[in-house]
Structure 1
Amino acid sequence: MKFSYLSTVLVAASLALGSDVISLTKDNFDSFIKENPLTLTEFFATWCGHCKALAPEYEAAATTLKEQHKGIALAKIDCTAENDLCNEHGIQGFPTLKVFRGSLDVVSPYTGQRKADAIVSYMVKQSLPAVSLLDQETLENFKTADKVVVVGYFNDKFTNQTFGNVAESLRENFLFGATADEKLAAAEEVTAPAIVMYKSFDETKVVYPGEMSFDDLVTFVKVESMPLIGEVGPATYTGYIESGIPLAYLFVSDDETKTKFTEALSPIARELRGVVNIATIDANAYGQHAENVNLKQQWPAFAIQEIANNYKYAYDQEKELTAEGLIKFLKDYESGDLSPTIKSQPTPETQDGPVIVVTANTYDEIVLDDTKDVLIEFYATWCGHCKNLAPKYDELASIFWGDEDLTSKVTVAKIDTPNNDVPDDIRGFPTIKLYPAGDKAHPIEYNGDRTVQSLADFIRDNGKFGIDGNALAQKKTVLPDDAEEPVENHDEL
């Protein structure tokens, strides 16, 4: 499809600036998306630190794709300048990346990692059919096309359709191929219908043992694609977290210790595959992460983190860490004989201010109080953005503070997250969520402006009671008929 004149000018301008990422606006967004079969689009804000960190990776990926894979475009939209366009596409946080397939209606979220090679790999997968049809000439190359590929050997339409549905649902992360050549199946020592996973690590070939059901096959791919004992790092952390399977961290500071434990734990890792992922982590580079799983920075160390509820089970660091001890620890975890290790600050004896201080020990009592709308800030004492928010957050809380009727319906709270375990995976600070009365299972994350007015509107629009904090604040500033001096308004309002 030929570019429109506007798109041609746009591309030329980007090249003149030395960028392979196309900048879009409301004037050319629709036409560009429709004229390109596959576009990864970043919605960003100029003030966003994560966006700045992504920028060089995004640019490098755009250059690689331009040189090696025609037909895949990378674009970006500055939401500080294109607010209406970003609102139209439901952008609530930055950066947000979406994949468009030649239409404004065919769109999906980008779920890959934010590194250049990961972006390239993800988009190349997106450019291919969900299932590549294979023959004798293409099968061997396909088996090594990525770290993990899945091939179906079929002889009937139903199983092929099931396989296709699985491939479509997992296409963001895996390559899928299929063949109906019985000779190829025989050469692989399988009988159609059969599913085989090929890997560049551990067992290089794994045959799917189950029935051809969608759910079972999805589970097989997700579980078997993880290394038996992998390594946690910037390139793998997201994959471990998104697997949904509890992650056991083995902190090691030298190769000898790593090798010793890896060899000793391989049998139990195979036995517990799908129950818990076991991975080493370089204590020299990422030792501070030990505190996030309730360990001291002394090595070697071991802890299990449940991704779904953020429970942690730390191996007693007063005891020597041995392979036998770890195997027993893992088996006790599997049988449910371990109790979570809870990290909590002391519970405040009194609540002296309008913002209620929450600890791990009081989290359920306060945040999960089903009779109240609870807005809670997950913060860190070292976080500069949290410090900037503090006076505004105090002002917001003061709107509801001191009135018994209001405090019985709305709580504004905060928790020092690094020093207290919380049943959520908080990845940035400050993170603000509203837990509505009567629906604590579905908290709503706040992604708006960090102003008193916007936060008050958020409570009103998403809470059960619909209390208008801004209207209450304005009433507090209204001068009574017999007052002699005006009451000063809040700057925010």
Structure 2
Amino acid sequence: MKGVSMSGWWCICITPVLLFQISGGASPEKWAADGKVLELDDSNFDSAISSFDHILVDFYAPWCGHCKRLSPQLDLAAPALAAMKEPIVIAKVNADKFTRLASKYDVDGYPTLKLFMNGIPIEYKGPRKADLLVCYLKKFVAPDVSILDSDSAVRSFVEEAGTYFPIFVGFGLNESVISNLAVQYKKKAWFSVAKDFSEDVMVRYDFDKVPALLVLHPSYNEQSIFYGPFEDQFLEDFIKQNLFPLAVPITYDTLKWLGDDERKIVLTIVEDEDEEKSKKLIKILKSAASANRDLVFGYVGVKQWDDFADTFGANKKTKLPKMVIWNRNEDYLTVVGSESIEEEDQASQISRFLEGYREGRTIKTNISGPSVLGFINSLVGIKLVFLMVFVVAVIMLIQTIKGDEEPLRIGTRDQAGQSSVSVPDGDSREHRSGEKED
């Protein structure tokens, strides 16, 4: 061995970023959490998975457009994840070539991301832009409840948590009070308790007594304070109701967040979310949301997501803003007399809309439009979509054999390929109704 003296002791140094694995009696396989994306195949997959506590694997196909767009994001995220105190490694597998691995891990669309934690896989459903992906994955190696012992610790925790998830900080609380809920909602929020803090912190976050539970939504510049009672049901209701901002911008990403929420969505459709008149309306929606916590208030612009808006009969010819009640099924409710919102006295009009809804003065309408199939598929799963396509193909074959004069008409691939099973990233509007379209 060059550069090593034969005299004296042999010394083998193993650092946290350098691991060795011997597989199948072959030469040692060297794996390093060095910030590079690993390329895995049948011969080395098990070796890599067993070498790291946390490894995110991208099952891709070379011809898949979404895979090609995801790849540079993973390249950007890999160094930041490898540099963490508890590193997370990113790897990729050509699932189109190594079909045994794809079948073993139930890969039914591309790209599919699986996070292996101590060898056990879970499907990654988080964002896919590099910075948001890093922030999302940090939660998997962070404590369920972080203990903060100073003002600077509080500040650092909030800064490092980033803007993707809501941040809960308990002041004057014992961690045992929120530990169970922190585990339950670990994938959706950051949790911490501050053991020691000054009055400056109380002034900064605008609370005047303890115990108190603060929730921050950095992306929306929102915060709320809960003073109790700190009993299980009251505490969980507060956490669940504050997992989202008061008024949620509807994207494919936020629709996935809302998937586990049982509340109905008060959906407001505007021409353009970025217009000043829309921003004023959104402020009013926030006020209404704070007084109606049993509902989720969302908004979407026709300019931002026209396919989704058209699903509810809203397009450039519709009188906007328009409000509906939607429970994520195949129909929605309009309120008689409140089909649209005029520009004057919008607060009163929204109050009348909510009053009409609660009194049952509603009309049920089926959702329609080119994006419907995509939304339904995102709920039922891509495997069922494949089954449906297979059934349609069989019917077409039978009709062809029978020589029917009128052929069966189905949608184009673009129409039928709207399904998705995959984060959100923050700019998910560009994906429209799904990631796994290939």
Report the equivalent of 2:228. Answer: 209
The offset of 1:301, in angstroms, is 2.9
Counterparts of 2:208 and 2:61 in 1: how far apart (Å)? 54
Q: Which of 298, 302, 308 is 1:289 aligned to?
A: 308
TM-score with structure 2 setting the length? 0.68
Q: 1:321 — aligned with what?
A: 342
* Cα contact 1:313–1:338 (8 A) shared by 2: yes
Cα deviation, residue 48, structure 1:
3.7
Please give the secondary structure, in 1, of the residue aligned with 2:349. helix
Task: Read off the aligned partner of 1:164 and give its amino acid letter.
Answer: S
CA positional deviation for 1:340 = 2.0
User: In structure 1, what is the Cα distance between the partners aligned to 2:198 and 2:276?
Assistant: 45
CA offset at residue 47 of structure 1? 4.1
1:230-245 equivalent positions in 2, closer than 5 A: 230-233=248-251, 236-241=254-259, 243-245=261-263
Q: For 2:314, give the aligned amino acid.
A: L
Match of 2:397 in 1: 395
Gaps (5+ residues) in structure 2? 1-15, 377-383, 422-437
Across the two proteins, how many residue pairs are aligned to each other?
370
CA contact (8 A) 2:302 2:314 kept: no
Cα 1:109/1:259, change in 2 over 3 Å: same
Q: Does 1:268 pair with 2:288?
A: yes
* Equivalent residue number for residue 26 of structure 1: 42
1:100 Cα deviation after fit: 1.9
Name the CA shift for 1:6/1:270 in 2 (closer, same or farther; >3 Å).
same
Which residue number in structure 1 is paired with residue 69 of structure 2?
Answer: 53
| Residues 171-190 of structure 1: CA deviation (Å, up to 9, x unaligned) | 22321112444978995544
TM-superposed deviation, 1:129: 1.2
CA deviation string 1:315-357 (max 9, x = no partner): 7898663523333223322444323222569xxxxxxxxxxxx
Structure 2 residue aligned with 1:135? 149
Corresponding residue SS for 2:68: helix
- Tell me the distance in 2 between the aligned counterparts of 1:67 and 1:182: 30
Matched, 1:119 2:133: yes
1:332 partnered with 2:356:
yes
Q: Which of 124, 129, 147 is residue 110 of structure 1 equivalent to? A: 124
CA shift in 2, pair 1:414/1:242, >3 Å: farther
Determine the C-alpha separation between the residues in 1 that align with 2:245 and 2:325. 17
Q: What is the DSSP-based 3-state SS (H/G/I as helix, E as strand, rest coil) of the residue aligned with 2:305?
A: helix
Q: Hey, what does 2:115 align to over in structure 1?
A: 99
Q: Which amino acid aligns with 1:27?
A: S
1:37 aligned to 49, 53, 56, which one? 53
Q: Give the Å deviation of 1:415.
A: 8.3
Q: Deviations over 1:31-71 (max 9, x none)?
A: 22222222112223334443333223222222443466761
Give the C-alpha shift of residue 271 in structure 1.
1.4
| Alpha-carbon distance in structure 2 between the residues aligned to 1:24 and 1:195 | 45
Letter in 2 for 1:246: K
Relative distance call for 1:208 and 1:99 in structure 2 (3 A) is: farther
Q: Which moved more, 1:128-137 or 1:239-248?
A: 239-248
Question: What is the identity, as a one-letter code, of the residue corresponding to 2:245?
Answer: P
Match of residue 433 from structure 2: none
- Report how far residue 208 of structure 1 moved: 5.3
CA 1:23 to 1:139, structure 2 compared with 1: closer, same or farther past 3 Å?
same
TM-aligned CA distance change 1:93 to 1:169, over 3 Å: farther
Q: Is the 8 A contact 2:333 2:363 kept in 1?
A: yes
Q: Does the 8 Å contact 1:246/1:304 carry over to 2?
A: no
Greater RCO structure (CA 8 Å; 6+ sep): 2
Q: 50, 61, 78: which one pairs with 2:94?
A: 78
Structure-2 change in CA distance of 1:377 and 1:74 (3 Å): closer
Mapped to 1, the partners of 2:330 and 2:411 lie a distance apart of 15
Taking only aligned residues, the RMSD between alpha carbons, in angstroms, comes to 4.5
| Contact 1:40 1:100 survives alignment (8 Å) | yes
Secondary structure of residue in 2 paired with 1:84: helix
> 3-state DSSP class of the match of 2:304?
helix
SS in 2 for 1:249: strand
Q: In the alignment, what sits opposite 1:222? A: 240
- Structure of larger gyration radius: 1
Question: Alpha carbons of 1:242 and 1:20: their partners in 2 closer, same or farther (altered >3 Å)?
Answer: farther
What is the alpha-carbon distance in structure 2 between the residues aligned to residue 430 and residue 399 of structure 1?
30
Separation (CA, whole Å) in 1 of partners of 2:341 and 2:238: 36
Q: Distance in 2 between matches of 1:397 and 1:182?
A: 74
**Identical counterparts, % of pairs:** 23
> Quick one: distance in 2 between partners of 1:303 and 1:340?
13
Which TM-score applies when normalising by structure 1? 0.62
